[in-house]
């Protein structure tokens, strides 16, 4: 098949991990006889430096014409002055809004070797297999903001429609899994959460074969560490999902392992690791590329419908997690490049054996 993929390397380790994702996709294209074209565009701090805009018009145009988008990460200390008029993260949020990708799918699966690196005891993490559905284009990150010398505000607003579509997405996914949805909110305090809870309860009536439970976000943060294996699909609003997914990633051994797919819009889906630009390790080939490579697998499956190819990438990552030297975040000494090569070699070895 032919597919045109927009690549947004961004800042910090973004370009390092994005090129790992592209290398694996190129290999898959060669192996399976596809024609993928890759077009790099500017976003974030890099785009501010080059064009004075974190999501310049030429990037917007390319995004609207793409079949899929692979993103590294944006941000860094160079652009983080709290008084700066423009920030890299604005480009990321504008891109999500432009493409209307309201459902951010963040799966968490444990591999025995890396789970052993989790700070939790093995009996606590045994059997963990969950998926977060994080609402991605609404809530406090997108609300009106004010700032004066004396105070500041961030508005949090959710419409019934915004809640309903993402909750429906979670229920539909749960039907293909263990049929349990946990909806996370702060309904004891926030009006938006009370609306969220009532919409989730109404939607649940259309899915009588799926169990729904409500959980307050503060205790959810605790339960994720004490009984993570009890959860199947977790649906929540933008900011809660942002925070809980970084927390949960540690169960698998490293933030660098977690992929994501942002879908639900009329056009291209966006695929990116859940981590940020990691300025503390940027430019040293220390970044774990596996979260991005697994995001590339999600791209193959969700945007291009290439199930076999996606499974080949995931099997290669499993093989690397089992047998290869890993990056420093997972206790290894391998470079970003070496881990990427190991994934590509594992893809080739499997194809030759088939
Ligand atoms: N999607 C995006 O582009 C995101 C951007 N950010 C931005 O990233 C910048 C840095 O934010 P932080 O809070 O430091 O979060 P971060 O996720 O960049 O890093 C947190 C910690 O995890 C480590 N880490 C992250 N990814 C890793 C990988 N692939 N391999 C090995 N170690 C990894 C980092 O070295 C750091 O110690 C900020 O400007 C923030 O706004 C943060 C999250 C998401
Ligand atoms: C700019 C932030 C919303 C990025 C982030 O932390 C994320 O999407 O996980
Ligand atoms: Mg985040």
pLDDT digits (tens, 9 = 90+) for 52-68: 999 999 999 999 999 99
* Strand, coil or helix: 221: helix
- CA torsion through residues 260, 282, 335, 20, sign: positive
Are 128 and 65 part of one and the same domain?
Answer: no
Single residue among 252, 273, 298 that ends a domain in this structure: 252
Q: How far is CA 53 from CA 49, 88, 203, in A?
A: 8, 9, 40
**Domain assignment of residue 196, given as a range:** 118-252
Q: Which ligand is nearest to the CA of 14?
A: 1
pLDDT level of residue 353 (50, 70, 90 thresholds):
confident
The reply to whether the predicted model has a pTM over 0.95 is yes
Catalogue the active-site residues. 141, 186, 218, 242, 246
Is residue 64 domain-resident? yes
Would you say residue 354 has pLDDT above 80?
A: no
Q: State the Cα–Cα distance between residues 342 and 88, nearest whole angstrom.
A: 32
What value of ipTM does the predicted structure carry? 0.99
Would you say residue 116 has pLDDT above 90?
A: no
16 lines ligand 1 (CB under 6 A): no
Are 291 and 242 part of one and the same domain?
Answer: no
83: how many CB neighbours lie within 10 A of its CB? 5
* Strand, coil or helix: 121: coil
Task: Kindly report the CATH number assigned to the domain that includes residue 214.
Answer: 3.40.718.10
Please state the rounded mean pLDDT for residues 104-121. Answer: 91
166-187 tens-digit pLDDT? 999 999 999 999 999 999 999 9
Are 35 and 100 part of one and the same domain?
Answer: yes
Predicted pLDDT of residue 352: 77
Ligand 1 atom index nearest CA of 92: 3
Are 92 and 27 part of one and the same domain?
Answer: yes
- Give the CA dihedral 114, 176, 354, 289, nearest 10 degrees: -40
- CA torsion through residues 85, 88, 93, 95, sign: positive
Q: How far is the CA of 120 from the centre of ligand 1 (A)?
A: 22
Q: State the Cα–Cα distance between residues 204 and 210, nearest whole angstrom.
A: 7
Is residue 112 domain-resident? no
Q: How far is the CA of 242 from the centre of ligand 2 (A)?
A: 6
Measured between its terminal Cα atoms, the distance across the chain in Å is: 21
Q: How far is the CA of 270 from the centre of ligand 2 (A)?
A: 13
Are 143 and 238 part of one and the same domain?
Answer: yes
Please tell me the residue having the least CA distance from ligand 2 atom 2.
Answer: 89
C-alpha of 70 from chain center: 11
89 lines ligand 2 (CB under 6 A): yes
Would you say residue 284 has pLDDT above 80?
A: yes
Element (H, E) at 223: helix 217-226
Q: How many CA atoms lie within 13 A of 78 on its CB side?
A: 16
Question: Ligand 1 pocket check: which of 15, 114, 277 to mutate, most ligand atoms within 8 Å of Cβ?
Answer: 277
Would you say residue 87 has pLDDT above 90?
A: yes
Single residue among 194, 225, 252 that ends a domain in this structure: 252
Single residue among 188, 222, 252 that ends a domain in this structure: 252
Alpha helix positions (H), 110-212 = 112-115, 122-125, 160-175, 191-204
How large a percentage of the chain has pLDDT more than 70? 100
Would you say residue 117 has pLDDT above 90?
A: no
Are 261 and 247 part of one and the same domain?
Answer: no
Element (H, E) at 63: helix 57-65
Would you say residue 350 has pLDDT above 80?
A: no
Question: Is 339:289 a contact under the CB 8 Å cutoff?
Answer: yes
Q: How many domains does the chain have?
A: 2
Q: Which ligand is nearest to the CA of 258?
A: 1
Would you say residue 119 has pLDDT above 90?
A: no
Please state the rounded mean pLDDT for residues 255-277. Answer: 98
pLDDT level of residue 165 (50, 70, 90 thresholds):
very high
């Amino acid at each position: 098949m032919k597919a045109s993929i927009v690549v947004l390397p961004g800042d910090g380790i973004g370009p390092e991990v994005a090129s790992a994702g592209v290398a694996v996709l190129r290999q898959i294209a060669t192996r399976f006889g596809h024609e993928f074209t890759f077009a790099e565009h500017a976003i974030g701090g890099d785009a501010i430096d080059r064009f004075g805009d974190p999501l310049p018009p030429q990037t917007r145009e390319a995004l609207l014409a793409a079949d899929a988008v692979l993103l590294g990460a944006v941000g860094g200390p160079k652009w983080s002055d709290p008084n700066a008029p423009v920030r890299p993260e604005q480009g990321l949020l504008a891109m999500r809004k432009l493409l209307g990708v309201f459902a951010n799918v963040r799966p968490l699966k444990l591999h025995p070797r890396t789970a052993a690196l989790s700070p939790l005891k093995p009996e606590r993490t045994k059997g963990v297999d969950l998926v977060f559905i994080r609402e991605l284009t609404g809530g406090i990150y997108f609300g009106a903001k004010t700032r004066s010398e004396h105070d500041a505000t961030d508005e949090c607003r959710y419409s019934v429609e915004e809640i309903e579509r993402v909750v429906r997405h979670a229920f539909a996914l749960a039907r293909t899994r263990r049929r349990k949805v946990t909806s996370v909110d702060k309904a004891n305090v926030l009006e938006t959460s009370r609306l969220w809870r009532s919409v989730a309860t109404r939607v649940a009536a259309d899915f009588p074969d799926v169990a729904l439970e409500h959980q307050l976000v503060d205790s959810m943060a605790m339960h994720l560490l004490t009984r993570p294996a009890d959860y199947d699909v977790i649906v929540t609003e933008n900011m809660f999902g942002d925070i809980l997914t970084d927390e949960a990633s540690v169960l698998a051994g490293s933030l660098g392992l977690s992929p994501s797919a942002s879908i639900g819009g009329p056009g291209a889906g966006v695929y990116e690791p859940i981590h940020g630009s990691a300025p503390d390790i940027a430019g040293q080939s220390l970044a774990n590329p596996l979260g991005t490579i697994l995001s590339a697998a999600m791209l193959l499956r969700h945007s291009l419908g290439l199930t076999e190819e996606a499974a080949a990438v995931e099997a290669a990552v499993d093989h690397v997690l089992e047998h290869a030297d890993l990056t420093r975040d997972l206790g290894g000494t391998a470079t970003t490049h070496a881990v990427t090569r190991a994934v590509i070699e594992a893809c080739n070895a499997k194809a030759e054996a088939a």
